Structure 1
Amino acid sequence: MRTGARPFLLILALVLGCNGSRDQLLADLQSPRPEVRALAVKKLAGQGNADDLVLFTRAAKDLAAIVRAEAAVALGESQDPRVVDLLGELLEDSDEEVQGRAAMALSKVKNDKAKAYLTLQYGRRGRSTRQVIVQALKSANVHDAMAEVVAAEAKAQWDRNLLAFTEGALPERVGAAEELGKSGRPEAVSRLLPLVRDSQVILAAAAVRGLGDAGDKQAVGQIALLLDESFPELRESAITALMKLQDPAVALKLQAVAVEKSAVSPLALDAILAFPRSPETDSALCAIALDGAPSEAMDAGRSMRARGGCPVEPIAERLARPATASSGLQAVASLGPAAQPLLAKVTPWLNQPDASLRMLAVEAVAAVGDAASVPVLQKLYEQEVKGLEAMRADWVTQKLPEKYGPGFDPATAPKDVHSHVPGDAERAAKHATLFERVKALNAARAREAGQPVVQHRVPTELYDDVEAERLAPLATLLRALGTLKAPGALDLLKGYSQDASSTLRMAALVGLTRLGQEGVEVAKAGLLEPERDLQKALAQALSEAGEPGQAALVELMPKMGSEKLLALDALTHGSGVPASASAALQAVVREGGAEAALAAQLLGRMQAKDAVPTLLKALDEPNSVARRDVLLALGAIGETQAAEVVARDLFHDLPEIRAAAATALKKIGTPAQAESLAALKGDYFRSVRESAGAALTKDGTAAGGAR
């Protein structure tokens, strides 16, 4: 009997032990610690007890995301059709980890309702969840899973936009018109074309923008007619659409807008510059160089320099008459060395009494690079200085004080004898001391960050008799002497680089950038001045000064703080970037912000392979404003190891990011991305479809590797 009792007691102990363990898990479900509750759910799910489904249902409503995630897994393991709706709710959870677990759980139920939840939520979720949804559908043996959900998302977007377009209020119709156009579908074009002449300007403008995104050139004719309208919004939308449609046939109409010197003239010039080169665009740019506003004329002429210049006969005719000479001189200044044959007709205008024509002639000979004009320019400089001498003379010959005299400092002023408030003097002194400590602390932080403490210039005069416009001729001469590398220009411009007038100081610093390494060394200090206009002009000049100037921009970029955006913009629009810039640009990318986008563009242009790890790390930031530029930079560099990381953004919820990822994979992709790219050929957005199609070869595989 004793021997028979032992097996019974052992079994009883095991049963009691198991019950005790389960009782502990049930108790853990009430624990105040989320990780304990999550572990309890996980262990209970492992026991496979069907009666625990109600516990998992309750856990799915837990306040802690970690518990809800484990509950989703447990519900999926049950494979009970009753949990599909609850998992559908978890698929809309605020936490992405819960969303992913719910998606995989739905794949285990394997019924049409679960598949419908997955398909519906693909178009509503972010990148990581969309990727898991595709994986879940594949696990559920859905053929071409990504293609199916992409097509479903496209259909839902089209139906939603079409409904808003046909039945919505005016604001809804405006937004829907643009979204329909982005689809690029022929039906969208046929619906938007009648609205081009709609009486509601805001709706007509939206339809025009949508037609531009649609990319169908049959709309060019009707859109071009809107350039004659008087509504600025409609004209701006028409120019933007024509820029995207890129039909050189409308270059003449855009030229007319560009030379009218209105608010939309710069945009019309940008549209012409965006067109493929053709005789029509060349002719339009030459006309703008003659008759456009100074800024548009300069941009048009600069673009024609690389195209061989413009016909000289029309410019020569303008230079022959005083009434039209200003436009001819403007064209020569914009064309620069390409206008060398016209130099003989320009130099006579250096001796004209009309100051405006004389200064235009100075700019023209400097742009052409006529060193023979230097003696004339030096004489004009001496005359200008003599004319300003009396007006620029100091009223007070002694230097103005920069500190309070004894007894005049408000921080140390004695207490008012009529004041009856105790402690006023002590309180004022305490506040002054605190303010000085704050300033010292800010200065220390700036030094630690490698940023210099900018000292604002103390005015040398209480009042300046000379207005900035009156100093413009002298500033023009200073720039010209620097550009032509006149004898003694370096010392002359160094003297003006500290002038009290920002107009002359800017001209001197810009002129110094044209004088080689020594001039650049002096000029680059101006990047740290507080005047933004001076910083912008100097950054552009340094970018145009070749490698010494570009290297100076890169060197001072870390010290410029938020103003480094000016340096990056100048480098982006310049002729090149020094190879040494990679480290500084990578630091900007790591800092993030708007500057990171320009830095990524430059790294891509440089094809800086050493920047690949930094760019890949930048993609870990889900809300980065530079994400698109980082992807394109990785594509430009063409490093195959980046393909897998870039391919993740084929699932991104923003179409511009999907398009950028596909464009990047066109060069760096491998066959592993072919399926995803093929699926995106059914995307709602035309830009995504075209980018995905371009990334695939004729046999349907992704383009392989960098070449």
Structure 2
Amino acid sequence: MRTGARPLILALALLLGCNGSRDQLLADLQSPRPEVRALAVKKLAGQGNPDDLVLFTRAAKDFAAIVRAEAAVALGESQDARVVDLLGELLEDQDEEVQGRAAMALSKVNNEKAKAYLTLQYGRRGRATRQVIVQALKNANVPGAMAEVVAAEARSQWDRNQLALTEGALPERVGAAEELGKSGRPDAVNRLLPLVRDSQVILAAAAVRGLGDAGDKRAVSPIALLLEENFPELRESAIHALMKLQDPVATQRLQLVAVEKSAVSPLAIDAIVSFPRTPQTDASLCAIVMEGAPAEALVAGRSMRTRGGCSVDTIGERLARPATAASGLQAVEGLGPAALPLLGKVVPWLSHSDATLRLLAVEAVAEVGDASVVPALQKLYEQEVKGLEALRADWVTQALPEKFGVGFDPSTMPPTPSTPGLKDERPSRHADLLGRVKELNAARVRESGRDVVRHRVPTELYDDVAPERLVPLATLLRALGALKAPGALELLTGYTQDSSAALRVAALVGLARLGPEGVNVAKAGLVEPDRDLQKALAQVLAEAGEAGQAALIEMLPKMGSEKLLVLDALTRAGAVPGSASTQLQAVVREGGPEAALAAALLGRIQAKDAVPTLVKALDEPNSVARRDVLLALGSIGDAQAADAVAKDLFHDLPEIRAAAASSLRKLGSAAHADQLEALKADYFRTVREAAGAAPASASTASEGAP
């Protein structure tokens, strides 16, 4: 009897064990620990019991993302058509992991409604989920999965923006006008052109900005006419749009704006300079050199230095008369070495009785760069110093004290008389706290390898010389440095410790132009607390050739937030030493806005050793430097970065998709050809063209539609 009962007992034990295990899982669903609930959902899903669907439905509403993610998987494994709507909700979950699990679950249900959810949500989700959605559609055997969702997103955006432009409130119409223009479709241009004359200026300006983004040359003439309007916002939008459209046809109208000396005149000059070079653009720039405000004339003149300069006869005629000499001297300053034939007509103005004309003449000869005028400048310098000698004499010959005298230190003050016998420890505690904070900050700076910025202590209680009175002396110091005058190194070095910020800036700028020896002295000014000084010095060092650029790179690790000034100066100068890769990579690793400029410079020098650093920077999802990192990887051209770059073809921001597509085409990775082909149907013109599509302006209206 015992022998015959053994199999029955074993079967009952197994049955009770299984029920006990299931009962435990059902109990775990009520656990306060999310990971326990998630594991219970996973194990129950593995049992394949149809009656558990209601449990998974309840788990899909759990407050913990880990539980909702497992519930999405379990619902998908059921392949029950009734769960499609619930999975569609999970596809909109705030957690990306849940979104991805829901997308893959919908692919297992694999009906038309599930595919519709996946297609709809592609345009609403972030990069990671968009990538999973495409993979889910592929798993569901949808042909051309990425092309289909990209085209669907484009149609949705087009319809939404058309509706907002037609029926929306004013703010919605403004946004829609700009977004329609970004599509670059010929139909968008047709809809926006009539709006440039709309009575609501804000809408007209938005239409103009949209036409600039559309890139269709048909908009050039209507936009150029708006330069005659009186509304600053409309004129500014028109100039920015013309700059994007890059058609020199608008040059003449932009020239009129440039010489009117208004707030938008600098923008007009920037637009003309950005245009492809033509005889018309050269003539307009030369006219601005003669007729524009000083700042605008200088910009126009500098741009003409590499274009052969302007007519010296016209400028010479102006230099011959005191009434027009100022504009002639400004023209010479802007043209610099290109105006060397006019030097003989400029030198007499160095001794003119008018201080303004003398100052303009000093600046002009300094830019021309001929050392023959150095004796005249040295004479002017001596006269200027002599005239300031009495005014700049120190009232107090001894250095001012930098510490409290005995009995005057607040931290050692005795208790106040109002509280006899009670010791007030607040001043000493306050001083100790500040002291500890300063020590900690100094230690942190030393550990980072940066120089401690020391604020300059005033040497006088009061200065008799107004800052504007020192402008002539500062101009002469810069000129002596620019012309590499004999003894300039010692002279300018002495002024680097002057109490006047204007003279210190002038001395440091002059030193930066003296060559390697001067650069070695001037670079210390990059850790001065004065931001204007840092900016001016960084720009001059960047333009001073290899020595100045090497000094900027050398000082980069020793600087804090000032790095942005240095990197911006190197970017504007268009040059950076090839040996700068290590320092620039360190900036990229630190992140922040500086990383964007550093990445662009790494791409410019094609630093192949920087590829791992740049690829790792793409792991930071919220990096402000993402676009620049992608473009840098494309410029470097290392095919090993292709897979990392390709992930951003799914990014929700069009400028990131465009950068990724542009870089991937340069990297030449055939593995991602289908994804690039799909982006040729993207809503945004910049993305389509980066992916290799023909410009919309070269297509018919029907061909322009995605």
Number of the residue aligned with 1:526:
525
Instruction: Establish whether residue 653 from structure 1 lines up as the match of residue 647 from structure 2.
Output: no
Instruction: Establish whether residue 133 from structure 1 lines up as the match of residue 133 from structure 2.
Output: yes
CA contact (8 A) 1:665 1:695 kept: no
1:452-463, aligned counterparts within 5 Å? 452-463=451-462
Distance apart, 1:544 and its partner CA: 0.9
Instruction: Establish whether residue 162 from structure 1 lines up as the match of residue 162 from structure 2.
Output: yes
Number of the residue aligned with 1:597:
596
Q: Deviations over 1:208-259 (max 9, x none)?
A: 1111111111111111111111111111111011111111011121122122
Number of the residue aligned with 1:85:
85
CA contact (8 A) 1:666 1:694 kept: no
Cα distance between partner residues in 1 of 2:33 and 2:611: 42
For the residue of structure 2 that corresponds to 1:623, the secondary structure is coil
Cα distance between partner residues in 2 of 1:676 and 1:296: 46
Q: Deviations over 1:347-391 (max 9, x none)?
A: 222221111111211122221111111111111111111111111
Number of the residue aligned with 2:6:
6
Cα distance between partner residues in 2 of 1:683 and 1:298: 43
Distance apart, 1:420 and its partner CA: 3.0
Number of the residue aligned with 1:124:
124
Distance apart, 1:6 and its partner CA: 3.2
Task: Point out the more displaced range, 55-64 or 605-614.
Answer: 55-64
1:381-392, aligned counterparts within 5 Å? 381-392=381-392
1:270-285, aligned counterparts within 5 Å? 270-285=270-285
Cα distance between partner residues in 1 of 2:385 and 2:593: 43
1:378-527, aligned counterparts within 5 Å? 378-417=378-417, 419-420=418-419, 423=422, 425-527=424-526
Cα distance between partner residues in 2 of 1:694 and 1:397: 74
Cα distance between partner residues in 2 of 1:116 and 1:380: 81
Unaligned 5+ segments in structure 1 are: 697-707
For the residue of structure 2 that corresponds to 1:392, the secondary structure is coil
CA contact (8 A) 1:87 1:106 kept: yes
Cα distance between partner residues in 1 of 2:694 and 2:30: 53
CA contact (8 A) 1:666 1:695 kept: no
Unaligned 5+ segments in structure 2 are: 696-706
CA contact (8 A) 1:663 1:694 kept: no
Number of the residue aligned with 2:630:
631
Number of the residue aligned with 2:581:
582
Q: Structure 1 residues 437 and 368, CA, compared in 2 at 3 Å: closer, same or farther?
A: same
Task: Point out the more displaced range, 163-172 or 313-322.
Answer: 313-322
Cα distance between partner residues in 2 of 1:422 and 1:237: 73
Distance apart, 1:11 and its partner CA: 2.5
Cα distance between partner residues in 1 of 2:2 and 2:456: 105
Number of the residue aligned with 2:703:
none
Distance apart, 1:445 and its partner CA: 1.5
Distance apart, 1:584 and its partner CA: 1.0
Cα distance between partner residues in 2 of 1:5 and 1:436: 86
Cα distance between partner residues in 2 of 1:457 and 1:526: 12
Q: Structure 1 residues 694 and 584, CA, compared in 2 at 3 Å: closer, same or farther?
A: farther
Task: Point out the more displaced range, 76-85 or 575-584.
Answer: 575-584
Number of the residue aligned with 1:535:
534
Q: Deviations over 1:445-486 (max 9, x none)?
A: 221222222221111111111112111111111111111111
CA contact (8 A) 2:680 2:693 kept: no
Instruction: Establish whether residue 182 from structure 1 lines up as the match of residue 182 from structure 2.
Output: yes
Number of the residue aligned with 1:242:
242
Cα distance between partner residues in 1 of 2:273 and 2:616: 35
Number of the residue aligned with 1:685:
684
Distance apart, 1:694 and its partner CA: 5.5
Number of the residue aligned with 1:252:
252
Distance apart, 1:432 and its partner CA: 1.8
CA contact (8 A) 1:413 1:425 kept: no
Cα distance between partner residues in 2 of 1:435 and 1:30: 53
Q: Deviations over 1:563-614 (max 9, x none)?
A: 1100010010114111221111111111111111111110110101111111
Q: Which has the higher contact order (CA 8 A, sep 6+)?
A: 2
Task: Point out the more displaced range, 582-591 or 185-194.
Answer: 185-194
Distance apart, 1:425 and its partner CA: 3.4
Q: Structure 1 residues 678 and 575, CA, compared in 2 at 3 Å: closer, same or farther?
A: closer
Instruction: Establish whether residue 608 from structure 1 lines up as the match of residue 624 from structure 2.
Output: no
Cα distance between partner residues in 2 of 1:633 and 1:391: 54
Cα distance between partner residues in 2 of 1:176 and 1:694: 24
Distance apart, 1:262 and its partner CA: 1.8
Cα distance between partner residues in 1 of 2:117 and 2:26: 31
**Residue identity matched to 2:222:** Q
Distance apart, 1:411 and its partner CA: 2.8
Instruction: Establish whether residue 667 from structure 1 lines up as the match of residue 688 from structure 2.
Output: no
Task: Point out the more displaced range, 22-31 or 613-622.
Answer: 22-31
Task: Point out the more displaced range, 266-275 or 613-622.
Answer: 266-275
Instruction: Establish whether residue 356 from structure 1 lines up as the match of residue 348 from structure 2.
Output: no
Distance apart, 1:315 and its partner CA: 1.7
CA contact (8 A) 1:130 1:651 kept: yes
Task: Point out the more displaced range, 110-119 or 342-351.
Answer: 342-351
**Residue identity matched to 2:539:** Q
Distance apart, 1:69 and its partner CA: 0.8
Number of the residue aligned with 1:308:
308
CA contact (8 A) 1:662 1:695 kept: no
Number of the residue aligned with 1:63:
63
The Cα RMSD (Å) is 1.6
Distance apart, 1:2 and its partner CA: 4.7
Cα distance between partner residues in 2 of 1:220 and 1:552: 45
Task: Point out the more displaced range, 114-123 or 33-42.
Answer: 33-42
What's the TM-score, normalizing by structure 2? 0.96
Identity between Structure 1 and Structure 2 (%): 79
**Residue identity matched to 2:496:** S
**Residue identity matched to 1:323:** A
For the residue of structure 1 that corresponds to 2:652, the secondary structure is coil
For the residue of structure 2 that corresponds to 1:548, the secondary structure is helix
Cα distance between partner residues in 2 of 1:448 and 1:597: 25
Task: Point out the more displaced range, 274-283 or 481-490.
Answer: 274-283
Q: Structure 1 residues 424 and 431, CA, compared in 2 at 3 Å: closer, same or farther?
A: farther
CA contact (8 A) 2:633 2:663 kept: yes
Number of the residue aligned with 1:288:
288
Task: Point out the more displaced range, 5-14 or 371-380.
Answer: 5-14
CA contact (8 A) 2:286 2:300 kept: yes
Q: Deviations over 1:156-210 (max 9, x none)?
A: 1111111111111111111111111111122211221111111111111111111
